[in-house]
Amino acid sequence: MNEEQQLIGEMARRMLDDHCGPAVVDAAEQGDYPSALWTLLVDNGLTTLGIDEALGGAGGTFGDALVVLREAGRKAAPLPLAETLLAGQLLSSLEQRLPTGPMCFVQGDVSLNESGQLQGSVHGVKFARHCQTLLVAARRGEDPVICHIPAATVAVTQGKDLAGEPSDDLDLFVQVQPQACFDIDEAKLDAVLVWGAAMRSVMMAGALEEALGATVGYALERKQFGKAIAKFQAIQQQLAVFATQVAASTRAAETLMVQSEIASIDVAIAKARIGEAAGICAEIAHQVHGAIGYTRDHRLNHLTRRLWAWRDAFGNEAYWQERLGRTLLVEDSGDLWQQITALG
């Protein structure tokens, strides 16, 4: 990361350390939305990073936004930060000014008829109940469109996902004005998928780093047979595997952060590699912690439940592994080994 990104990361980490402790996460899971924390992030421009100032953003690059999201992943921040940043990227690509308040991108079985009626249903929309604006991907005939609508016009059935975060079902039956509809192509929809996968990748990397620190700390403190369990060879082996997986994940995440323009092949590598690490490391973390790691009173489950949820968001590792393979196999610029070494 460059010096500016390091400063952004340090600022975000200090804010989240001070205002997003385990009690805040627990309270959010019980329905107490941390609006004060959201306001703090808004006031410091962290919810609009990577968006041109002329469009109402805070400036910077997409990589800068990823730096903040890694810190949010470390603290399991129970906010629609990734959702708002993703919707902001989409609006920016459409050269549209950002609205105020949190927002999210919505994609499902939704159609827009010739009279401007938007209708359909979407399941499992993260933080929908807390968003003010929805960017809905719909079909007008065979063509994709994006509709910009107020969230208050949509019926919301509240639910939760594995992480304990809001995951709501939406029923849409909304009249949309022509100026709120934007024609797009399939490439634009794929770009949203790539951006979302990059965001979840760095959030997983942050959560993995935090889980490693918590697991090593617990192993040094917990005593069995008169000595810390970190002294046992079996535990040391597990921690070594854990650390190796986290190192690989961190490297993949930082590759995305330093790019001036996100490359889909790097996102494919990162999402597949970090998703694989999430499964391995969550298992080791809970093995080392034992039963206490599963309790609501322990910090670890905040991280591992999100890792399990995030690894499936915007394509799981199997999807991205297959996509990466197809990309390399259709490339005609050289043999497979040359293509792989060129990525380094």
pLDDT at 332: 60
CA distances for 344 relative to 139, 149, 194, 276, 340, angstroms: 39, 43, 20, 20, 7
Q: Is 170 helix (H, G, I), strand (E, B) or coil?
A: strand
Reading the block at residue 213, the tokens are 């620190």
Do residues 273 and 327 both lie within one domain? yes
Distance of CA 147 to the CA centre of its chain: 22
Q: In this structure, what are the phi and psi dihedrals at residue 165, rounded to the nearest 5 degrees?
A: -95, 160
pLDDT tens track, the chain, 344 positions: 889 999 999 999 999 999 999 999 999 999 999 999 999 999 999 999 999 999 999 999 999 999 999 999 999 999 999 999 999 999 999 999 999 999 999 999 999 999 999 999 999 999 999 999 999 999 999 999 999 999 999 999 999 999 999 999 999 999 999 999 999 999 999 999 999 999 999 999 999 999 999 999 999 988 888 899 888 999 999 999 999 999 999 999 999 999 878 899 999 999 999 999 999 999 999 999 987 776 777 789 999 999 999 999 999 999 999 999 888 887 665 666 676 666 66
Strand segments, DSSP code E, in 96-142 are 103-112, 117-126, 133-140
Q: CA 332 to CA 312: how far, in whole Å?
A: 31
Domain span at 323: 187-343
The number of distinct structural domains making up the chain is 2
Q: CA 276 to CA 280: how far, in whole Å?
A: 7
> Which residues contact residue 308 at a Cβ distance below 8 angstroms, ignoring those fewer than 6 apart?
162, 163, 278, 279, 282
Check: CB of residue 305 under 8 Å from CB of residue 278: no
Q: CA 247 to CA 240: how far, in whole Å?
A: 11
Do residues 37 and 170 both lie within one domain? yes
Q: In this structure, what are the phi and psi dihedrals at residue 130, rounded to the nearest 5 degrees?
A: -100, 0
Do residues 136 and 226 both lie within one domain? no
Strand segments, DSSP code E, in 220-328 are 223-224, 227-228
Do residues 16 and 33 both lie within one domain? yes
Do residues 197 and 169 both lie within one domain? no
Do residues 172 and 212 both lie within one domain? no
Asked which of 134, 156, 183 is the last residue of a domain, the reply is 183
Q: CA 278 to CA 208: how far, in whole Å?
A: 7
Q: How many CA atoms lie within 13 A of 206 on its CB side?
A: 26
Reading the block at residue 4, the tokens are 């500016």
For position 214, which CATH number holds?
Answer: 1.20.140.10
Do residues 339 and 240 both lie within one domain? yes
pLDDT at 224: 86
**What is the 8-class DSSP label of residue 229?**
G
Asked which of 133, 148, 183 is the last residue of a domain, the reply is 183
Do residues 172 and 192 both lie within one domain? no
Q: What global pTM score does this model have?
A: 0.94
Reading the block at residue 142, the tokens are 């065979």
Asked which of 183, 202, 234 is the last residue of a domain, the reply is 183
> Which residues contact residue 129 at a Cβ distance below 8 angstroms, ignoring those fewer than 6 apart?
156, 158, 166, 168
**Paired residues of 181 in beta bridges:** 147
**Among 213, 207, 192, CA closest to 76:** 207
Q: In this structure, what are the phi and psi dihedrals at residue 7, rounded to the nearest 5 degrees?
A: -65, -40
Check: CB of residue 140 under 8 Å from CB of residue 119: no
Helices (H) and strands (E) in the chain, counts: 11, 9
pLDDT at 343: 65
